[in-house]
A and B are shown apart, each in its own frame.
Chain A
Amino acid sequence: MALSRRTLLGLAAGVPVSAAPAACGSSGPGKSGGATYWYLNGQPQEGVRSSAVDAFNKAHPKDQIKDTTYQNDAYKTKIKTAIGAGRAPTVIWGWGGGTLRTYVEAGQVEDLTPWFEEHPEIKKGLFPSSFGAATVDGKIYAMPCETVQPIILYYNKRVFEQVGAKPPQSWDDIMALVPRFNAKGIAPFALGGQSRWTNMMWLEFLFDRIGGSEVFQAVVEGEKNAWSNPAAITALTKVQELVKAQGFVKGFSSITADSNADQALLYTGRAAMMLHGAWSYGIQQADGGDFVSSGGLGYMTFPPVEGGKGDPSDTVGNPAQYLSISSKAGAEQKKTARDFFATGVLQDAEVKKWIGNGSVPIRLGTEKLLAASKSADFLTFTYDIASKAKVFAQSWDQALSPTAAETLLDNIVKLFQLSISPKQFADNLNAVTAK
């Protein structure tokens, strides 16, 4: 009885299921037909990406690019699975660094070094600092694109006025501000802690400001016990002190950054400050009503820590976004993709759109456009950070291998929950990053 019911259910379920692979075969990324391109959704960035594709398709009626969009956290899994299954899109959008290295080691992406040698003008037109995360063992496997996105300390000027406080100039200032905001029922810092990389930005800056950029560089190089560096332990301890002092908004560990709820806390005045990527400016401009246009949003670089060794000009974030070409794509698709890189990426119209959204595109020679835009102050600020940083470190989860990054993010959440000590954190990570 039980068996027959199950087989019956199996039969009923089987019809649509068995029809699915056949459907995938024709609509999924095949070897022939136009090139495919997956990227992240979410405005205002999505609009810029899709209009670049539209413009290219219009100019090239014979080589079409079909684009599909995904949510940030979902995309990171989706793209990995698709590449592993040999069904990658022709153009792979990504963050470079450790993930790109895994693609390269598996032979899944094209070596673009010869192409860049043939087209030196393309390479010369982009921020030189953007090529670091595109390079694996001396060869370039990705085309840097879009914008430079350092992590910035945002604050709500109105809330600061209300409390009569000044933006923090040091870590001690931050710790002194925490009880003042809490006393008024305003969260000192907004944080979308469920997304995990949001918490990570705090450690990225604290490690750098306290011990200098070499502390994390040692991790990347696979040095033994790199996380047990006294500067690292101090940084981990300081972040836990901030959590204990209720520096972060109530319920931060259940807030996701994908929903932009963390940014909503800042522009609605429920939180005073927020550490976030430069892309957040555009989001606050789009969602925050007149918050940005009326001058409510303040921004600064992460302040120095008393007695720290790091250079205050150092920054972290995404030096650019990266486009790779799947080595499994057909010859025609690859050609379309290369044409897109040469004549479709960061063209004048796209550059203007990025600037209009409050981002700094990685194309050189845009100073005049930046200065003339309505977000001139913020853009000049970002441009200066990006161009003057002594070290522009890549986000940790992108710089490390996916396996190490997952352990890192897991332990960061536990650190912020105070369920592990700085020493346990260091031990757990030493075990996965040492070579």
Chain B
Amino acid sequence: MSALTGHPSRREARGILPWLAAPALVVFVGFAVVPLVGVFALSFTTWDGIGAIRLSGLTSWRKVLTNPGLPHALWVTFLVMAVSWAVQTPLSILLGTFLAGRQRYRAVLGVVYFIPLMLSSAAIAIAYKALLDPNFGLGAGLNIHALSQDWLGRPGLAFGVVVFVVSWQFIPFHSLIYQGGVQQIPQSLYEAAQLDGAGRIRQFFSITLPQLKYTVITSSTLMVVGSLTFFDLIFVLTEGGPGDATRVLALDMYKRGFQASLMGPASAIAVILVLLGLSLALLLRRLGGGDAGASQLEGA
């Protein structure tokens, strides 16, 4: 019985498998590909979001590319990306390595660290905004002078706050990835190192870090591409301000599209964002050394 039904069902499964991907494909086409094509088409039009859409060739592109706001927004986006990567990566690796230990208190701490990830960006931004208020915030409430700075009102400080809050929110997620990565490293490597007399620090740099290479690439890709789309947090926290000190590309796009009613230029920025995200992701894969699927564990 089982032998009889086994073969046809396997053959059937082969026929069904592509169809199983269909719902996902429909969703992907409907919510990713179609809007993408739509935005690309809109970037060649003039539209105020309310009236008729008029074809206008390269007008929107010319407007965006000659606007001094674009290089500034690109620069801010790059800075947020680079600085938050540089802050998050080492901290996440250290935390992840620490949490990979099997002790019970580490598991408890792991749950605590995980909390920021469960909060929505908007809620986090509102909470920090209230805490950092120069007149009614934490500093003023506790009478701590060092804390009652004009955190969100001065360009440099506001930028620092954005990076800090972003890191606070996402370090738990990346720690989790690294924790998983560290736990994958075979214990035998450490045992061998111990026999050779390597200390903890030497073990970390000679075994843990090299073994985490692909985890670093995955986590960095998520960080870098994710940082292109930071919007909600910055929008609620600073609205891109003060002035345009924290106006990243995604925010610039929103402001032009929905506040200034310039859908054409906003679509052009969206296309730039997509291209930027794709090329960064590809670049990171390249840096990873071609075949990121290759195992580092051979022979372990």
Most buried by B among A8, A106, A253, A254: A254
A404-435 near B? 1/0 per residue, CB < 8 Å: 01110010011001010000000000000000
Tell me if B31 and A14 are in contact (CB < 8 A). yes
* Residues on A facing B (Cβ under 8 Å): 1, 7-8, 10-11, 13-14, 17-18, 76-77, 80-81, 83-84, 102-103, 105-108, 193-194, 249-255, 261, 264-265, 270, 401-403, 405-407, 410, 413-414, 417, 419
Contact of B150 among A83, A84, A254, A261 (CB under 8 A): A254
27 contacts between A and B (CB under 8 A): A8-B24, A14-B24, A14-B27, A80-B49, A80-B50, A84-B50, A102-B50, A105-B51, A106-B50, A107-B51, A193-B153, A251-B133, A251-B134, A251-B135, A253-B241, A253-B242, A254-B132, A254-B133, A254-B150, A254-B158, A255-B133, A255-B135, A402-B261, A403-B260, A406-B255, A417-B242, A417-B243
* Closest beta carbon of chain B to A84's beta carbon, Å: 4
Q: Please, how many angstroms separate the alpha-carbon atoms of A250 and B258 in the complex?
A: 30
Given pairs A18-B30, A81-B258, A254-B129, 13 additional interface contacts (CB within 8 A): A7-B24, A17-B27, A18-B27, A80-B258, A194-B152, A249-B135, A250-B134, A253-B152, A254-B153, A254-B238, A402-B48, A406-B261, A407-B260
* Residues on B facing A (Cβ under 8 Å): 21, 23-28, 30-32, 48-52, 129, 132-136, 150-153, 158, 238-239, 241-244, 255-256, 258-262, 293
**Which residues of B are found within 8 Å of A265, using beta-carbon distances?**
135
In the complex formed, the residue of A with least CB distance to B152 is: A254
Contact of A106 among B23, B28, B51, B244 (CB under 8 A): B51
Q: Please, how many angstroms separate the alpha-carbon atoms of A14 and B238 in the complex?
A: 31
Contact of B28 among A1, A7, A76 (CB under 8 A): A7
Q: Please, how many angstroms separate the alpha-carbon atoms of A261 and B129 in the complex?
A: 12
**Which residues of B are found within 8 Å of A76, using beta-carbon distances?**
259
Tell me if B150 and A250 are in contact (CB < 8 A). yes
* Closest beta carbon of chain A to B218's beta carbon, Å: 9
Tell me if A252 and B153 are in contact (CB < 8 A). yes
Q: Please, how many angstroms separate the alpha-carbon atoms of A18 and B129 in the complex?
A: 34
* Closest beta carbon of chain A to B79's beta carbon, Å: 17
Tell me if A194 and B135 are in contact (CB < 8 A). no
Q: Please, how many angstroms separate the alpha-carbon atoms of A249 and B136 in the complex?
A: 12
**Which residues of A are found within 8 Å of B132, using beta-carbon distances?**
254
Tell me if B135 and A261 are in contact (CB < 8 A). yes
Q: Please, how many angstroms separate the alpha-carbon atoms of A407 and B27 in the complex?
A: 37
In the complex formed, the residue of B with least CB distance to A108 is: B50
In the complex formed, the residue of B with least CB distance to A88 is: B50
Mostly, the B contact residues are loop
Q: Please, how many angstroms separate the alpha-carbon atoms of A83 and B28 in the complex?
A: 27
Contact of B241 among A108, A194, A402 (CB under 8 A): A194
Tell me if A102 and B153 are in contact (CB < 8 A). no
* Closest beta carbon of chain B to A273's beta carbon, Å: 15
Tell me if A254 and B242 are in contact (CB < 8 A). yes
Q: Please, how many angstroms separate the alpha-carbon atoms of A302 and B232 in the complex?
A: 38
Q: Given that A84-B49, A253-B242, A413-B242 are known contacts, is A1 also in contact with B259, CB under 8 Å in the complex?
A: no
Tell me if A403 and B242 are in contact (CB < 8 A). no
Q: Nearest 8 CB-CB pairs, A to B?
A: A251-B134, A14-B27, A106-B51, A254-B152, A406-B260, A254-B153, A251-B150, A84-B49
Tell me if B52 and A106 are in contact (CB < 8 A). yes
* Closest beta carbon of chain A to B159's beta carbon, Å: 13
Q: Please, how many angstroms separate the alpha-carbon atoms of A76 and B259 in the complex?
A: 8
Q: Please, how many angstroms separate the alpha-carbon atoms of A76 and B242 in the complex?
A: 21
**Which residues of A are found within 8 Å of B242, using beta-carbon distances?**
194, 253-254, 413, 417
Q: Please, how many angstroms separate the alpha-carbon atoms of A379 and B62 in the complex?
A: 52
**Which residues of A are found within 8 Å of B256, using beta-carbon distances?**
406
In the complex formed, the residue of B with least CB distance to A78 is: B258
In the complex formed, the residue of A with least CB distance to B31 is: A17
In the complex formed, the residue of B with least CB distance to A106 is: B51
**Which residues of A are found within 8 Å of B238, using beta-carbon distances?**
194, 254
Tell me if A102 and B261 are in contact (CB < 8 A). yes
Tell me if B158 and A83 are in contact (CB < 8 A). no
Tell me if A250 and B135 are in contact (CB < 8 A). yes
Contact of B260 among A108, A254, A402 (CB under 8 A): A402
Tell me if B243 and A10 are in contact (CB < 8 A). no
Q: Given that A106-B50, A255-B135, A413-B243 are known contacts, is A10 also in contact with B258, CB under 8 Å in the complex?
A: no
Q: Please, how many angstroms separate the alpha-carbon atoms of A17 and B27 in the complex?
A: 9
In the complex formed, the residue of A with least CB distance to B32 is: A10
Most buried by A among B26, B242, B255: B242
Q: Please, how many angstroms separate the alpha-carbon atoms of A417 and B158 in the complex?
A: 14
Tell me if A253 and B25 are in contact (CB < 8 A). no
In the complex formed, the residue of B with least CB distance to A417 is: B243
* Closest beta carbon of chain B to A422's beta carbon, Å: 16
Tell me if B25 and A7 are in contact (CB < 8 A). yes
**Which residues of A are found within 8 Å of B262, using beta-carbon distances?**
403
In the complex formed, the residue of B with least CB distance to A17 is: B31
In the complex formed, the residue of A with least CB distance to B247 is: A410
In the complex formed, the residue of A with least CB distance to B255 is: A406
* Closest beta carbon of chain B to A261's beta carbon, Å: 6
Q: Please, how many angstroms separate the alpha-carbon atoms of A394 and B150 in the complex?
A: 32
Q: Please, how many angstroms separate the alpha-carbon atoms of A84 and B134 in the complex?
A: 39
* Closest beta carbon of chain B to A404's beta carbon, Å: 9
Contact of B48 among A106, A252, A253 (CB under 8 A): A106
**Which residues of A are found within 8 Å of B134, using beta-carbon distances?**
250-251, 254-255
Q: Please, how many angstroms separate the alpha-carbon atoms of A61 and B103 in the complex?
A: 66
Q: Please, how many angstroms separate the alpha-carbon atoms of A74 and B133 in the complex?
A: 21
In the complex formed, the residue of B with least CB distance to A402 is: B261
**Which residues of B are found within 8 Å of A403, using beta-carbon distances?**
48, 260-262
